[in-house]
Amino acid sequence: MEYIRAFIVGGLICVIGQIILDTTKLTPAHILVTFLTAGVILGGIGLYEPLVKFAGAGATVPILGFGYSLAQGAIEGAKSNGVIGAFTGGITATAGGIAAAIIFGYIMSLVFKPKTKN
């Protein structure tokens, strides 16, 4: 059941993005930034957490979930360490993904040659 919920919620989030792509002049890069920021806001006001509980990876794998983790981390940091925690919490919570993106991005660009576009 949780796989079906992850599939449907994750799929629907992507459909929203696809509609924005097709009906506006925004590029995928705009969508990434907008969805991430939306995730931070939704996470900050507590609206995203119920979706994570309901859909699991369907809510955390889309970039909205990355924003949610950032907001969640910042709030937890603020709870325990005040203003300093508000600064450190977000990146601490998402450090794994960011570090992975940097190191794997670097390695892949050394190992693989870009395919020539036809």
Partner 1 sequence: MENMTNKEYQKYAEKKVPKPTYFKNMLMAFLVGGIICTFGQFIRNLLFKSGLDEKAVAGGTAIILVFLGALLTGLGVYDKIGKIGGAGAAIPITGFSNAIVSPAMEHRTEGLIFGVASKMFIIAGPVLVYGVTSSVLVGILYLLLTKGR
* 2 makes contact with partner 1 (CB under 8 A): yes
Residues 13 to 32 in contact with partner 1, rule: CB under 8 A? 13-15, 17-22, 28-29, 31-32
| Calpha distance 76→23 (Å, rounded) | 38
Report residue 116: phi and psi, to 5°: -70, 135
Least separation in angstroms between CB 50 and partner 1:
15
Q: Which residue's CB is nearer to partner 1, number 50 or number 96?
A: 96
Least Cβ distance, residue 22 to partner 1 (angstroms): 5
Residues 52-111 that bind partner 1 (CB under 8 A): 55-58, 60-67, 69-71, 73-75, 77-79, 82-83, 85-87, 89-91, 93-102, 104-111
CB-based burial, 26-38: b 16+ in 10 Å, e otherwise: eeeeebeebbbeb
What is the Cα 94 distance to its own chain's centre?
9
Least separation, in Å, of the C-beta of 33 and partner 1? Answer: 5
From the list 40, 38, 46, the residue with the least C-alpha distance to 16 is: 38
Q: Tell me, by CB under 8 A, how many residues bind partner 1.
A: 81
Q: Tell me which residue of 41, 36, 34 sits closest to 75, measured CA to CA.
A: 41
